[in-house]
Homo-oligomer: A and B are copies of this chain.
Amino acid sequence: MSLADQISADLLERLQSGELRAGERLPTEHQLTDEYGVSRATVRSALRRLESLGLTVTRHGLGTFANAGTTEVRADLRQLNSLSDTIASFGLTSEMSYRSRAIRAATAEERRRLELPARAKVLATERELTADGTVVAFSYDAIPRLVFPEHLDIHTVDGSLFAVLEAHKARVATALTEVHAASGNEVGWGPRPAASNYVLLSQVHYLENARPVMYSNTFFVEGRFTFSLIRTR
């Protein structure tokens, strides 16, 4: 963990604990430089991270100010992380459980998104993410069968799919993501959350060489996550 990461994590905690309240000015960059004993470049790197999360606003000549709503789980939409990392980065204890793992023929949609030929096969998984005992997301994922060696024990597929892919020398670099809204009981399985609205991220993940490697539909329970991003003209 870099110095800048440690400092932004510490500031995040100070924001979430209420030590720094919404609208209040944070210490100046010079003060933070002294306080943490690092260079100003490092302080600025930490502050940039907070701002990209929408937790602070920095104004030239004035200072950096705490934004409201810093107690929710916020995820920078531009930043691509595994599901586990997204949740872990906010200090939540989460569990991921697989409902199914199967090797089957790719659907037409999967072939289109993953640029696969007819009759191609995929490893398809259904997963559920829980935090504090309640469901926070359902995810349906498909990975081309040929990413894996001939003999694959699908029961070794567990935990983060990003990690599984990396174990097979396939590192996810980018994703093309579509944002949708969904609701109803067709989403997920088992005991559903009372509020049945979902933010659906439909994503095609690519390797560094721009080859598609995973197609995911992840349904995030509305209210448990706040996806944010900064848009510019």
A65 and B208 alpha carbons, distance in the complex (Å): 9
- Does the CB pair B176–A77 fall under 8 Å? no
A22 close to B (CB within 8 Å): yes
A232: contacting residue among B57, B174, B183, B226, CB under 8 A:
B174
A174 and B56 alpha carbons, distance in the complex (Å): 10
- Does the CB pair B232–A112 fall under 8 Å? no
- Does the CB pair A180–B199 fall under 8 Å? yes
**Contacts of A69 on B, CB cut-off 8 Å?**
210
- Does the CB pair A208–B80 fall under 8 Å? no
- Does the CB pair A81–B233 fall under 8 Å? yes
Chain A positions 175 through 207: 1 when the CB is less than 8 Å from some CB of chain B, otherwise 0: 111111111000000000000011110010010
A77: contacting residue among B77, B81, B183, B211, CB under 8 A:
B77
**Contacts of A229 on B, CB cut-off 8 Å?**
77-78, 176-177, 179, 229
A145 close to B (CB within 8 Å): no
A175 and B58 alpha carbons, distance in the complex (Å): 14
Chain A positions 66 through 78: 1 when the CB is less than 8 Å from some CB of chain B, otherwise 0: 0111000100011
**Contacts of A22 on B, CB cut-off 8 Å?**
112, 210
**Contacts of A228 on B, CB cut-off 8 Å?**
176-179
Measured CB to CB, the closest approach of chain B to A120, in angstroms, equals 14
- Does the CB pair A233–B80 fall under 8 Å? yes
Measured CB to CB, the closest approach of chain B to A225, in angstroms, equals 9
A79 close to B (CB within 8 Å): yes
A231 close to B (CB within 8 Å): yes
A230 close to B (CB within 8 Å): yes
Given A54-B176, A80-B232, A198–B210 Cβ distance below 8 Å?
Answer: no
Given A54-B176, A73-B176, A80–B231 Cβ distance below 8 Å?
Answer: yes
A233 and B79 alpha carbons, distance in the complex (Å): 6
A60 and B174 alpha carbons, distance in the complex (Å): 15
Measured CB to CB, the closest approach of chain B to A109, in angstroms, equals 9
- Does the CB pair A232–B78 fall under 8 Å? yes
**Can you sample 11 A-B contacts with CB below 8 Å?**
A57-B173, A57-B206, A59-B210, A65-B208, A73-B176, A79-B233, A173-B233, A174-B232, A176-B229, A178-B226, A179-B227
